[in-house]
Chain A
Amino acid sequence: MEFNHVHKSKKRVDVYEKVTGRAKYGADMRFPDMLYAQTLYTKYPYAEIKNIDLDKAKKQTDVEAIITAEDVPNNKFGVIIENQQVLAEDKSLFIGDGIAVVAAKTAKAAARAIELIDVEYKELEGIYDPLKARKEGSQLIHEENESNQVIHHPLRKGNIKQGFLESDVIIKREYDTPFIEQSYIEPEAVVAVPYQENSTITVYGSIQNPFATQGAVASVLKEKLNKIRIVQNHMGGSFGGKDEVVSSMAARAAILALKTKKPVRLVNTRDQSIKESYKRHPYKMKYKIGATHDGQLKAMQIEAVADSGAYACQTPFVTWRSVVQATGPYEVANVKTDTYGFYTNNIYTGAMRGYGSPQVIFAQESLMDELAEELDMDPVELRLKNIYHNNSITASGQKLDSHQVSLEEVLTKAVEKSDFIEKYNRYKKEQTGDKKRGIGLSISFRGCSLGAEAIDAAGIILSLKKDGSVNLYSGLAENGQGLKTVYCQIAGEILGLDIDRINFMEVDTLISPDSGSTVASRATLIGGNAVKKAANNLKNRIKKFIAESYEQTEDDIVLKDGKIYGKKSIEIMSIAKMSSMAAMEGVCLTSYGWYVSPEISWDEEIGQGNPYFTYVYGCQVAEVEVDIKTGEINVLKMTAAHDVGRAINPANVKGQIYGGVMMGLGYGIMEELKTNQGYIQNTNFDEYLIPTVKDMPDIDPIIVENPDPDGPFGAKSIGEPTLELGAAAIANAVANAADKRIRSLPINLEQIIVGRKLSKGGGQK
């Protein structure tokens, strides 16, 4: 298929502003009379708040208002379960709970006032281990519940007992993963402006999901949705992280703005960001797997326990994705999976790129290598024997028959490109010297889009101007991933316009169609389809207008290179000229595209159904060097093969792969938010380490394209699949190099040398 605008590495449409420093991010917004807000956080993770004395703080010069939970019209919000406190009311439930928020004329005055607020606490003994929270009779984190369980997703397929009976080899292993910080480089920032035009409150800022934030602010303020306006600014990264925490900040700023009748800016420092923003869930996982001597998987039994922290947040959905992906992309007749989430007094957990998959993939792909070892088989052979192909039946009973199942293709391509087999066997042998090399791989299938979490639909408005330029209004938002460019390319392809003629308008809830959240690697797939629909609607109207005015048949009309061609490919006129004429003739040049995803199904009781309408497949290979005398690991090379359906913008796809590989590497060997009795020990980038340029290996991206019948021009997803594989591949490479199987992330110095993590305790920050 020949394309003019998609399938090309077009330059980003938002890049000029970004390289010149002109792009305005949340903290760059300025309004007349703007006040600066600061949050006072609780001193203890779990404590009763006996009294809050604001007198001294209120007398501080330049302080204009202070709010506590008392001032919050509706203090509890949440997308799935409404139990997150905007400000701690009777009790603080985790160390990042806010107690009060001050708005002052200067940031300094607000900071001073914070120090003058006297809070009387009664420290309580909290629960910091989800396995303790799980025990019957444990004290309840949320008293209105019957237990600390947030959610339990069972999955039952076949006969698990029988499956193990049929197995020649059975192994049982336990794995665990830590809290992970999204680590967007821009800390959270919002500015709430009161009574702008017809809105009660307008919130500008670094907001991943403007419609989710709109919902939260409306619910907290007890105001109608149409009175709350959210405008997204440029976002300095999000990776799932700027949802509930930003909603909470937006609500706090909004209350202060209404109280003072002035714009209020609330911007977190990095320490505040790490302390109050939700993290990726730590998981404790038990795996039991059975196979025949020749490597046929017979049964898999899994229990995964997620720490939800103080609030439900996204736990029910995160753990749901885990249940679908927990067995990996392998055909197993007999499966029993149980994933749970439990409340604790730890920092709460929510969405982060991967969303419940990196944890189970680390476990299950480590397990496959351990099983291969046990069966004396190479890891590629064992996988090839069991992976999904076209028409395979998944653990949830779904028949994969709607798209090309390309696991074998991605696996083979990555294995060949990385010279895996030769290196695996060579590194397995005794190596001289302190630095041992190893190679490892991991594979995955990943459901695209929301799946059975919710109805999956999105809308786009295109408005063709009289000069042939276009405004594009989207409900899904640019997070930095390149969505604006991709949408402009898709619209351009259909309308025959260069992308510089299309202007992607910032998401503004006033105009943009509510399309849910920009999550789940759904933007290109779902939103892209909506762009296609909107553009086709517009194109059809143009065709009709031209056909009627110029005695052409619609079928002959082609839009290309900014021009309109008719019968025998003769140029009729420019799109610009046509636009002006059509406008004069009263033709509607604004079009709407609404896309609803194909049907899916899910039986929550047994975990069976068709949870996603399509999947992507990926394989990553890691080559590492392990210093067995110091425990240092150097990742030398990563090969990443991903089927994206079709790459709308190959340079962007590569960018996603490089970035995802980096996050996977961080997850594998260095990242860990350390907590001790609910306190966070590393609240800035000096101690919470993320990869620098020097940590990055050579990366070999392999873009595999099997156009999906349900994707726009065949495109599917790439954001999350790239990050979920790295840690498992690295763990397998370390085992290959140093004959050490590490089942707990991150694989740090101590784990290599001592075989376990060491903890210094303390950390009351």
Chain B
Amino acid sequence: MIEFEALKPQNLKEALAVLKERGIDIKLLAGGTDLLVEINNNSDRLGNFKYLMDISSIKGLDEIENEKKHLIIGALCTHTQIIESKLIEGKFPILVRGAKTIGSTQIRNRGTIGGNINNGSPAADLITPLLALKSSVILKSKNKKRELPLQDFITGPYKTDRKEDEILTKIKIPKINSDYQSSFQKVKRRQAVAISRINLAVVTDIKEMRFNDIRIAFGSATPTAIRFLKMEKKLKQTQINELNFDSIIEQTGQEMVEIAGERWSTPYKKPVVGNLLIRALQEIIREVQ
């Protein structure tokens, strides 16, 4: 049984001040859809904490801002907010597609984008799109603010670079021009409320029938969600009509094994990651043609 005291700061300033003082003993609570499960399960992942700080009702962290070069999503935006945001749907539909596949309506009504990132699950359905969108995260502490690429923030399975006095406040997504196409793929064991067996986000712009800037992020295939840089390199500048499916499938699987090593699920995932990539590319190509 896990026992703790509750902290409920009224605003960000107060939260950061308390974190500065005793952050080491504090667990942050937002939507709770992962944390309450772990507390219920007495999960080893929780580590030790004395206080649970509820930041779910802190004002100002649940806004979506349309800046000139970036779209900024407040860390406390729920998945439902993301799905219903016309702004996000217009700019980054892939994020909406990812959000729609998370949990159930009830979970999406509570769970937040910041929580999805901070939980650091390799299967998180927002992390892969965000990686493919080259997002960065903004963290605040009492006296500091820092920004770092999402990829660097996630340091391992269920591990992040968040310092104990910090709060992840915003997610910053660089805007891309309207030539960009995207595809989100998810393999699951059932049709709803399903954790990704594999998920994939592909973002690319096609210029003169070639993949120009192409970003490929896989989730649940490797210990943390990650971009497959080798495959990106291979596909960059490739003619979209001259794709060698067999070699893409082969090499995607290989890249996965290089990153993750051989695991119990490798015989399944090795061919399927490539199959999914082909499917995503075909979907994008169909869209362009």
Contacts and interface: CB of A to CB of B under 8 A. Distances in A.
User: Are A and B direct contacts in the complex by CB distance below 8 Å?
Assistant: yes
Interface of A: 108, 111-112, 115, 271, 434, 629-632, 634, 670, 684, 686, 689, 691-695, 748-750, 753-754, 758-761
B223 interface: no
B187 A749 contact: yes
Contacts of B188: 632
B191 A754 contact: no
A691 B272 CA distance: 24
Given A631-B268, A631-B272, A759-B264, A686 B195 contact: yes
Contacts of B194: 689
16 contacts: A434-B279, A629-B275, A629-B276, A630-B276, A631-B187, A634-B191, A689-B190, A689-B194, A694-B192, A695-B190, A749-B272, A750-B267, A758-B264, A758-B267, A759-B264, A760-B265
A693 to B, nearest CB: 7
The 3 nearest A-B residue pairs measured at CB: A694-B191, A629-B275, A694-B192
Given A115-B1, A750-B268, A753-B268, A695 B276 contact: no
A112 B1 CA distance: 7
A630 B192 contact: no
B193 interface: yes
B266 to A, nearest CB: 9
Nearest to B278: A629
Given A631-B268, A670-B189, A694-B192, 5 more contacts: A629-B276, A749-B187, A749-B272, A758-B268, A759-B264
Contacts of A693: 192
A692 B189 CA distance: 11
B191 A630 contact: no
B159 interface: no
**Max chain A Cβ within 10 angstroms of own Cβ: one of B190, B193, B194, B197:** B190
Contacts of A684: 41
A760 B263 CA distance: 8
Contacts of B264: 758-761
Contact of B267 (A115, A689, A754): A754
Contacts of A750: 265, 267-268
B157 interface: no
A749 B268 contact: yes
Interface string B6-43: 00000000000000000000000000000001000100
Contacts of A689: 189-190, 194
Contacts of A754: 267-268
B271 interface: yes
A675 to B, nearest CB: 16
Contacts of A670: 189-190
A636 to B, nearest CB: 12
B269 to A, nearest CB: 9
Given A112-B1, A754-B267, A630 B190 contact: no
A635 to B, nearest CB: 10
Contact of B192 (A112, A695, A749): A695
Contacts of B191: 634, 692, 694-695
Contacts of A631: 187, 268, 272
Interface of B: 1, 37, 41, 187-195, 197, 264-265, 267-268, 271-272, 275-276, 278-279
B195 to A, nearest CB: 7
B192 A629 contact: no
Nearest to A695: B191
A255 B266 CA distance: 51
B80 to A, nearest CB: 17
**Max chain B Cβ within 10 angstroms of own Cβ: one of A629, A630, A631, A632:** A630
Contacts of B189: 670, 689, 748-749
Contacts of B279: 434, 629
Given A629-B279, A630-B187, A630-B272, A692 B265 contact: no
A754 B270 CA distance: 10
A108 B1 contact: yes
B190 A691 contact: yes
A753 B271 contact: yes
A759 B189 CA distance: 15
A629 B275 CA distance: 6
Nearest to A684: B41
Contacts of B275: 434, 629-630
A45 to B, nearest CB: 20
B192 A692 contact: yes
Nearest to A746: B189
A695 B193 CA distance: 10
A695 B191 CA distance: 5
B264 to A, nearest CB: 5
A753 B268 CA distance: 6
A761 B264 CA distance: 8
Contacts of A761: 264
B137 to A, nearest CB: 27
A686 B276 CA distance: 24
Nearest to B279: A629
A630 B268 CA distance: 9
A52 to B, nearest CB: 20
Contacts of B41: 271, 684
A445 B1 CA distance: 50
A108 B1 CA distance: 9
Nearest to B194: A689
Given A754-B267, A754-B268, A761-B264, A749 B197 contact: yes
Contacts of A630: 187, 272, 275-276
Contact of B193 (A111, A692, A749, A753): A692
A277 to B, nearest CB: 19
A365 to B, nearest CB: 24
A56 to B, nearest CB: 14
Nearest to A434: B279
Contacts of A692: 190-193
A301 B160 CA distance: 59
A753 B272 contact: yes
Nearest to A635: B191
A632 B192 CA distance: 13
Nearest to A696: B191
Contacts of A759: 264
A689 B188 CA distance: 11
Contacts of A758: 264-265, 267-268
A761 B187 CA distance: 22
A629 B279 CA distance: 9
**Max chain B Cβ within 10 angstroms of own Cβ: one of A112, A434, A631, A691:** A631
Nearest to A762: B264
Contacts of A753: 268, 271-272
Contacts of A632: 187-188
**Max chain B Cβ within 10 angstroms of own Cβ: one of A684, A686, A748:** A686
A749 to B, nearest CB: 6
Contacts of B267: 750, 754, 758
A207 B37 CA distance: 29
Nearest to B192: A694
A112 B42 CA distance: 13
Nearest to B185: A630
A754 B268 CA distance: 6
Nearest to B267: A754
Contacts of A694: 190-192
Contact of B1 (A111, A271, A749, A760): A111
Contacts of A748: 189
A234 B251 CA distance: 57
A686 B188 CA distance: 13
Contacts of B271: 753
A749 B268 CA distance: 8
Contacts of B278: 629
A478 B267 CA distance: 47
A684 B37 CA distance: 11
B134 to A, nearest CB: 27
Nearest to B191: A694
A677 to B, nearest CB: 15
Contacts of B190: 670, 689, 691-692, 694-695
B3 to A, nearest CB: 9
